[in-house]
Structure 1
Amino acid sequence: MAGVVSRCAIGLLLYAAMASNAWAADELKRAAALLAEGKAKQAYTLLTPLEAERAGDDEFDYLLGTAAIDSGQPARGTLALERLIQRDPNHAGARLEMGRAYFLMGDDTRAKAEFDALLQLNPPPIARQAMTQYLQAIEQRNRSRGTQWSGYVSAGLGHDTNVNAATDKTKIFVPIFGGDLILTDTSTSKSDNLLFAAAGTDFSHPLTENVRLLAGADLRYRHYHHQHDFSFGTLAARGGVAIGSAGNQLRLGTQLDYLRQDHQANRRNLNGTIEWRKALGDSQQVNLFGQFGQIRYQRPEYRINDANQTLLGGSWLGLILPAHNGVTLATLFGGRERAREDRADGDKRMLGARATWQFNPIDDGELWVSAGWQQGHYCQENFLFATRRHDRLTDIGLGFNWRIGGAWSLRPAINHSRNRSNIAINEYRRTDYTLAVQHDFR
């Protein structure tokens, strides 16, 4: 909709064709020129100080309303345009801008009424095309506001160079012993081939005009051919509500994750989240989020690692390379993990960042690249190693989603991660090669 929403030149064309008076002041001529050049904010800045004196003048109210809308203030623009429409109900340019303002504000009922009325006035072909596009967008948006459901199933194979995310060293120097500790076979890295399967669904249902119920679930299983002890399955169930419009929305939710490994319950995570999403124009969005989670291990021997985790962060989503649907997502977050038991390393402070870039090099395929960084600083000296633990985890991924027909896609991917630590037993490298076939339901 970027081409539709930003088309103030069409309104100016209608205005020039149907308004009867010429601009009477140099300020108005300069403002009109700025709007024609796409410099709406400059035009708005020029016109705003004149409102007390010029409000009620047809030319001024039209230009001020248009400049406000194109500057990202549609509600402000409707005030100026309403004055003009009260004086001249058939002013086509003002009604087009009013319809556009309602559309940007999410008031589809009034936007549709304005566009339908304008179509009855036999507007120029370029204006008629724009109004038709708006009406189509309103119809599509109304459809999307109903109950929505999507799902997927996938399966594949691959190879994991470090199934247990362990060090490749066979012995570690331990200061408290004054010598080397020989690691057991299960404490060193293992590689293996794998098979995996996954399925998931997302559901959304409107409770009121501005409140939606959200729910979803994902089920995943990974089987290693030889390292059976590290085969695992996960179940994630989530629910929440979204309050507000798509361009300005508050989300409250919760998620419960279960992990089973070697046919035994291993870990349960319960998270509560709050997120605010705000659109910046047609091609950008910012998110702010907070998350509180409980990490609970199910086996007695692992419960010393139980912790409560708090995260705060923000992200930016932007459209680049529009011709190829290029999208960039950048996230920054930080937080704290508070140990519930006497964990050897104590509490943990975290700071991290992640970026993902995706675009369509071909019509039937999406290429994505991701990179992440996270550092963790522990607050308690580890008595075995006589130091406080510091970790730095980095990862990079590359993949391609190739639509091979209908809702089917072929998905090769490579992911590499590395954890650096001042305590050698926590260092590792891991590379995951996978090839999946996926079917999407909508």
Structure 2
Amino acid sequence: MTNSGQSQQAYAILDPLEVNRAGDPEFDLVFGIAANEVGQFTRAIMALERVLSVQPDNGRAKAELGRALFAVGDTKAARTLLQETKAQGVPTAVSTTIDEFLQAIDRVDAEGKSSWKAYVETGIGHDSNANSGPAGSNVAVPAFGGLVFTLTPGGVKQSTEFLAVNAGISGRHVIDPRWSLIGTGTLQTRYNRGTADQFDSIQADIGGGVSYRHERNEYSVIGQVGTYLVDNSRARDIIGMTGEWTYRFDQFRQVGTYLQLSQLSYPNQGVRDVDRTVIGTTYSHMFRDGRFVYIGGYFGQEDEQAANVPSLGHKLWGLRLGGQQAIRDNLAAFATLGYENRRYGGPDPLFLVTRKDEQVNLNIGLNWIPAPQWRVTPQIALTQVKSNVVISDYNRTIVSVMVRRDF
């Protein structure tokens, strides 16, 4: 059945028999091949190791075990087994398959070499709410007995067309098979049309750190500094670090857990300075047909640095879900969905309630690759923030088309 393309059926038949027939090399070999074909690589490894314990020269078992070890990320052991199998002398068809896996291992190993990559991108779009402002200009303020104030034009929702220009670079310098130095840098700029140009922005971030790999685990610590400018004036600075642990189950599945510690400072409003802590985890899965999905969650808090302003600090938690589906070789659709809940630490001094926010983000778009190293991304991004403080309650829709060149 495994040779006739009926691997799933073969695996379903053999799986319940393993308890009674494990140790029979003929059964274990067929079961190991079927498990490999349907992606049950851990089961395949156990079955094929049983074969080799009694038949150490079984070339087919070695080849299949090498394939399974490659799938779970043990490229060193996979290479050794596959090379041994080929040296024993195998049929041409099997030898060709082994060569393909050895080439794949070479590509994976090449990823462990020092490298760098960069990109530049530009695009245009329409933003329904460039300043994340409320829809109405008249606001009743409880601290003044409910007196109605009129917001300035800059405080009310403004729509605009925009031009975005971005660039980034990242690199890894391999010290040895386990230790690497890593670094990143990004620059994002946006230029709005007309009176909304007061919300033109520049964001620059650089980061660097160290990475340690051991078997299926990778640990990294990265320091980061960045600044965000609005209308050429520094609005927010950030300095911090992120520690992350990534565990790769195999070439298709991994989970990452991270801790972010940072200080956010506001040069023109020092009272808003906070210490931010976030802990989160994300699971991602690449399917054999090219589909990719991820799901994650996080929680944390922002602690205000100034005294007696609990309304400026908050606790938060959130969820993220996303995926991509190939439509054809050079075209894929993607979608991401995020939810964040924020609860502030004390009553707002103007609105006399403890602020509570719920934010939902939805992004839908396409990735089109018209030529190698080029990518065109049309997308729509929807944001909804529900808040019991009226000036923090808003909706936003951004429609854009970005063109990117990778190097």
TM-score (norm 1): 0.80
CA RMSD between the two structures: 3.1
User: Does the C-alpha gap of structure 1 residues 73 and 311 become closer, same or farther in structure 2, counting only changes over 3 Å?
Assistant: farther
Is residue 131–residue 157 contact of structure 2 (8 Å, CA) maintained in 1?
Answer: yes
Question: Is 1:198 aligned to 2:162, yes or no?
Answer: no
Pair 1:424–1:108, CA change in 2 (3 A): closer
Matched AA of 1:313:
G
Residue identity matched to 1:432? I
Change (3 A) 1:407 1:93: closer
Cα distance in structure 2, aligned partners of 1:35 and 1:402: 37
**Corresponding residue number in structure 1 for 2:284:** 317
SS in 1 for 2:296: strand
The whole-number CA distance in structure 2 between the counterparts of 1:208 and 1:422 is: 54
- Counterpart of 1:261 in structure 2: which amino acid? V
**285, 290, 304: which is aligned to 2:254?**
285
Rounded to whole Å, the distance in 1 between the matches of 2:99 and 2:19 is 31
Matches within 5 A, 1:147-296: 147-178=114-145, 179-226=147-194, 227-244=196-213, 247-296=216-265
Give secondary structure in 2 for the equivalent of 1:208: coil
Q: How many residue pairs end up in the alignment?
A: 398
Name stretches of at least 5 consecutive residues in structure 1 with no aligned partner: 1-7, 11-32, 49-53
How far apart are the structure 1 equivalents of 2:18 and 2:143? 71
Note the C-alpha offset of 1:83.
4.1
The amino acid that maps onto 2:247 is K
Q: Would you say the 8 A contact 1:40–1:71 is kept in 2?
A: no
User: Could you state the TM-score of these two structures normalised by the residue count of structure 2?
Assistant: 0.86
- TM-superposition CA deviations, 1:334-368 (whole Å, max 9, x none): 11111112436142011111112212212222221
Partner SS for 2:124: strand
Shift of the 42–244 alpha-carbon distance from structure 1 to 2, 3 Å rule, reads farther
Which amino acid counterpart does residue 339 of structure 1 have in structure 2?
Answer: E
Q: CA deviation at 1:255?
A: 2.0
How far apart are the structure 2 equivalents of 1:231 and 1:426?
20
Q: Does 1:327 align with 2:292?
A: yes
416-425 vs 363-372, greater mean Cα deviation: 363-372
Q: Indicate how the Cα distance of structure 1 residues 42 and 34 shifts in structure 2: closer, same or farther if over 3 A, else same.
A: farther
Contact 1:153-1:198 at 8 Å conserved across structures: yes
Structure 1's 333 and 41: CA in aligned 2 closer, same or farther, altered over 3 A?
farther
The answer for unaligned runs of 5 or more in structure 2 is: none
Q: Distance in 1 between matches of 2:259 and 2:213?
A: 18
Match of 1:362 in 2: 328
Distance 2:327 2:362 in 1: 20
For 1:434 and 1:270, the matched residues in 2 are separated by 30
Residue in structure 2 matching 1:99, options 63, 66, 81:
66
2:207 counterpart SS class:
strand
Q: State the structure with more CA Rg.
A: 1
Any conservation in 2 of the 1:47–1:64 contact (CA below 8 Å)?
A: no
- The residue number in structure 1 matching 2:355 is 389
Secondary structure of the 1:229 match is helix
Please tell me the residue identity of whatever aligns with 2:224: Q
Contact 1:326 1:360 in 2 (8 A): yes
Q: 2:304 is matched by which residue type in structure 1? A: A
2:364 alignment partner, SS class: strand
Among candidates 108, 114, 119, match of residue 141 of structure 1: 108
Q: 1:383 to 1:151 in 2, by over 3 A?
A: same
